[in-house]
Amino acid sequence: MRAVALLAFLALVSGCFGYNPSAKRWAYAGNSVLIAGGGGAIAGDILTKPEPCPTTSMNGCYQPAFGGGMVAGVFLVTAGIIGIVINATRPNVKGSR
């Protein structure tokens, strides 16, 4: 299970990048979608946070500091930012035309 998670992380963390000006424009659009989707996932996780556990009851109530939506959102935003950086620093490849 850890190997599958690591493989998925490595595949998604690079974001989108292109080799020529046309592909770079589409890669910037894809990276923007990753960042917007990650921001939406983070906002959704923050807005749907459950009520805090009462401090007087000892019924074993536990709520983590952040949920799965927050983790997924951070991965998406990170992938989008890394993709933009790679796309901006990658030189254009001249085609055969």
Q: Is the pLDDT of residue 86 over 90?
A: no
Domain layout of the chain by residue ranges:
15-49+65-92
Left (φ > 0), alpha (ψ -120 to 50) or beta: where does 60 sit?
left
Tokens 């500091």 found at: 65
Mean pLDDT, residues 2-16 taken together: 68
Give residue 30's identity as a one-letter amino acid code: G
Helices marked H in the chain: 2-12, 21-47, 68-89
Predicted pLDDT of residue 40: 92
Q: In the structure encoding, which two tokens stand for residue 92, read together?
A: 């254009």
Q: Is the pLDDT of residue 7 over 90?
A: no
pLDDT in tens, 12-71: 666 666 778 888 888 888 889 989 999 998 999 889 887 777 766 666 777 777 788 888
62/60 Cα distance (integer angstroms):
6
pTM: 0.72
